[in-house]
Structure 1
Amino acid sequence: MEPWYSLHWLNPAQWQQFHIVYPLALSLIPAVPVLFLVRYYLNRKAQQRLNISLGQLRSGVGRLQTRRSWLGLLRYLVPVSVFIGTGFLLAALARPQIVRELRDEQSEGIDIMLAMDVSESMTETDLPPNRLAAARRVAQLFVNSRKNDRIGLVVFAGEAFSLCPLTTDYGLLKQYLSELNSQMIRTSGTAIGDALARCINRMRERLPSPIDTAQTETNPWKPERSKLIILLSDGDNTAGNLDPITAAKLAKAFNIKLYTIAVGRPVSSTSQAVTVDEGILKTIATIGNGSFFRATDTRRLQSVFAQINRLEKSPIRVRIYEDVQDFYRIYLYWGITFLLCAMLLKNTIFGNVLED
C-alpha cells in the first residue's frame, strides 16, 4: 500500500473505489470557503493598518509596491492552509473505505431418481424422432439445470434395473442417458411397481456408492435431504412382482415425492388399443404427494421438466462476508499536516498580528 503522504490518495480514480460511510461530511467541504468569505466581509471595515511614512523613499515606490503585492499574495497561505486542512479533516470524517464482499453459498441439495421406461412402445414416433429419444434428450437438459443435487437412474420394461446410483457426477449420468435404447431389457411389458421399488431402495441406502461425489459425512443436526422420483412411462403396469400402488405407499412412508409423466398421445380405435394409460400414473402420483403430467409433444415434455425444476428447488444458505478496510487515517494525517503548517505560518511574516 502507498504511504499516507503519497499523491496517489488524491487521485479521483482512487476516490471512485471508496465506499463513503458519511457522505454528508463531504458535502460540507464547499461550505468552508463560504465561511472564510463571510469572515472577510464582516471584518474588512475593522481591519487595522499600520501606516508608515515613506519620506524620501518615493523613488522606490514602484519596486516597493511590487514587493508588497507578492507579500499580499503570500499572506493567503494561512487561510488556504486552514481551508485545505479542514477539507481533509472532513474527508476523514466521511470515513472512506474499501469493502470487499465475499459470498458463500451452501446447499444441501435433494435426491432425485429418474425412472425411464425403455419398453418397445417407447419407440413410437408421435414424439419425434421417437418417445424414448425425446425423453432422453429432455432428461439430459433437466440434469444440466440442477446444482448440488444427487441424481440416479433406473430403467424398466418388463423388469427394472438400477443403471446409475445417486451421484453428483452429471457427466456420467448424461452418458448413461445417451445410451438408453429399447433393446436394453428383453423382457416385454411395463413394470412400474418394480421400477418404483428400485428407486426407493436406492434412496434408503445409508452407505454412499463409490461414484457418489456428494459429502459422505453425516450430521445428526442437519435436516434430512428432500427426495423425489420422476417416472416417465407410456403405459399401464403390465409386468413385475410389486403392485405400483403398494410401491407408492412405500414411497410415501419414506417421505419420497412421486412425479409421473405420461409420454405420448393417447390413441384409441377399433384396431388399436389405448397406447397411453393415465390411470395408474395419476393414482401413484396422488398417493406419493406429487403431480401427474401429460407430455403429448417434445415442447410439452420440456415444459413439464421445467415445471418440476421450479417446484423442487433445494434450499440455499447464503453467507455474506465483508472485508472492510478504512482509509480515514490517511486524510486525517493530511489535515493535521496542513493545520500545523497554518499555525507555523501564523508566527512568520505571513501572519497579521494586528488582525488577530
Structure 2
Amino acid sequence: MIFANIEYLFLLLLLIPYIIWYFMRQKRMEPSMQVSTTRMYMNAPKSWKIYLLHAPFLLRIVTFVMIVLVLARPQTTDNWQNTEIEGIDIMLAVDVSTSMLAEDLKPNRIEAAKQVASEFINGRPNDNIGLSIFAGEAFTQCPLTVDHGVLLNLFRNVSCDMVQQGMIDDGTALGMGLANAVSRLKDSKAKSKVIILLTDGVNNMGDISPLTAAEIAKKFGIRVYTIGVGTNGTAPYPMPTYAGVQYVQIPVELDEKTMTQIAGTTNGNYFRATSNSKLKEVYKEIDKLEKTRLNVKEFSKREEAFAPFALVAFLCLLLEILLRNTVLKKIP
C-alpha cells in the first residue's frame, strides 16, 4: 500500500503535544481530600466505569489517526504477477456474410451465434481464446488472449454490417476463414488446440479451399469443430426495399459434406445447429480435451483504499459520543 498525499502523515506528530496536555490536565483536575488514613478504603470495590475513564481519549486518538490516513489517500499498488493456469487454445471462426441475417434462429443467426459463443467464453475463464471472422475474405478480430473482457467487447462489435458497408466482400470463404484461424494457432505450445468454425453457407470465395486448410490444420495438430447454422428447407430473410423491410424465404444451403470432411480430417466433429441448444454440444466435446498449463502475466491496477480507514474513524467517533453521553456522562 502507498499514499498519494504522504505529506499529511506529518499531522500525526500533533498527537505528541495532545497526549502530554491530556495527562497534565487530568492530573490538575483530579479532586483530592485530606484524611488521616486511607486504610479503610483499601478493600473497597472499584466500579467498572473506572476502567473506561480513558476510553474516549483513546477513541479520539484512533479517530484522528484514521482521518489523517484518509487524507493521505492510501492506494493499492500497481502490480505485475506471474501466475500459472490450466487451459486450451481456442480460435472461434465466425461467418459474418449477409446470409447470417436470416431469422430462422432468433433474433437472427449471427446474434444467436454471438450469444451462445459469449456464454461459452464466460464458462472457460482459463482458456486462451481468439476470434476470427470471415465472409468473402477473412481477418482476425481478436488474437488469442486470456483477457476475456476485451474479447467479449470486440465480439459485441461483430455484425454483418461490415459486409453491407463494403468493409469486406460478401460471400463465404470457408477455406480463408479456417486458414486465418490456423495461422493464430500454429505457433501455440498448448497440447490441445481447437478451432470452432461456424457458417451457414457453401464455400464460394477465397484462394484456399476448405479441405486444403483442413490439411494445414491437421499438420499443426489442430482439431476443428464445424457447425452448420440454419434450419432445413427455407429461412425468413429481411430484404430492404423502397417500401421498407420485406421478408422473403431463402433456401438454406449448407455444404455438410465438406464440413464433415474438415472435421474428420482434423479428428473433430461436425454439428448441425438448428437452435442455440445444439451449439452447446460443441462445448461439451471441448471440455473433454486434455488441458495444458499456461503462464499468464496479470496486472493489478492502482485503486483507492481509504474506505476501511474512514469506516473505523466513523465508528470510533460514534462510540466516543455514546460513552460521553451515557455511562461516562459528567454532571457539573
TM-score category by the smaller chain?
0.5 to 0.7
1:202 aligns with 2:184: yes
CA contact (8 A) 2:93 2:198 kept: yes
CA contact (8 A) 1:235 1:278 kept: no
Q: Identify the residue that residue 140 of structure 1 maps to in structure 2.
A: 118
Q: Identify the residue that residue 192 of structure 1 maps to in structure 2.
A: 174
CA contact (8 A) 1:116 1:233 kept: yes
AA in 1 matched with 2:259: L
Instruction: Pick the structure with more strand per residue.
Output: 2
1:278 aligns with 2:278: no
CA contact (8 A) 2:89 2:190 kept: no
1:253 aligns with 2:235: no
Output the CA distance in 2 between the equivalents of 1:265 and 1:111: 30
Alignment map for 1:121-140 (pairs within 5 Å): 121-140=99-118
1:311 aligns with 2:288: yes
Alignment map for 1:156-235 (pairs within 5 Å): 156-185=134-163, 186=166, 187-205=169-187, 224-235=190-201
Q: Deviations over 1:264-319 (max 9, x none)?
A: 113169x8544333121111011111001111012222x224323423352579xx
Give the 3 Å change call, closer, same or farther, for CA 310–205 of structure 1 in structure 2. closer
Give the 3 Å change call, closer, same or farther, for CA 243–267 of structure 1 in structure 2. same
Output the CA distance in 2 between the equivalents of 1:178 and 1:294: 24
Specify the SS of the correspondent of 2:105.
coil
AA in 1 matched with 2:287: R
Output the CA distance in 2 between the equivalents of 1:183 and 1:108: 36
CA contact (8 A) 1:265 1:276 kept: no
1:289 aligns with 2:267: yes
Q: Deviations over 1:187-233 (max 9, x none)?
A: 11100100111111111247xxxxxxxxxxxxxxxx74321100110
Specify the SS of the correspondent of 1:184.
helix
Q: Identify the residue that residue 24 of structure 2 maps to in structure 1.
A: none
CA contact (8 A) 2:91 2:194 kept: yes
How far apart are residue 130 of structure 1 and its match?
Answer: 0.1
Identity within the alignment, %: 44
Root-mean-square deviation (Å): 2.3
Q: Deviations over 1:300-345 (max 9, x none)?
A: 22x224323423352579xxxxxxxxxxxxxxxxxxxxxxxxxxxx
Q: Deviations over 1:220-260 (max 9, x none)?
A: xxx74321100110111110110000000000000000000
Give the 3 Å change call, closer, same or farther, for CA 179–308 of structure 1 in structure 2. farther
TM-score, normalised on structure 1? 0.51
Give the 3 Å change call, closer, same or farther, for CA 241–309 of structure 1 in structure 2. same
Output the CA distance in 2 between the equivalents of 1:106 and 1:172: 20
Q: Identify the residue that residue 236 of structure 1 maps to in structure 2.
A: 202
Ranges in structure 1 where 5+ consecutive residues have no aligned partner: 1-104, 207-222, 318-356
CA contact (8 A) 2:192 2:292 kept: no
CA contact (8 A) 1:157 1:190 kept: yes
Alignment map for 1:2-17 (pairs within 5 Å): none
Alignment map for 1:11-30 (pairs within 5 Å): none
CA contact (8 A) 1:112 1:151 kept: yes
Alignment map for 1:275-354 (pairs within 5 Å): 275-301=253-279, 303-312=280-289, 314=291
How far apart are residue 108 of structure 1 and its match?
Answer: 3.8
Match of 1:266 among 208, 229, 232: 232
CA contact (8 A) 2:191 2:292 kept: no
Specify the SS of the correspondent of 2:263.
helix
TM-score, normalised on structure 2? 0.55
Specify the SS of the correspondent of 1:147.
coil
AA in 2 matched with 1:199: A
| Structure with bigger gyration radius | 1
Give the 3 Å change call, closer, same or farther, for CA 148–268 of structure 1 in structure 2. closer
Ranges in structure 2 where 5+ consecutive residues have no aligned partner: 1-82, 236-248, 295-332
How far apart are residue 106 of structure 1 and its match?
Answer: 5.3
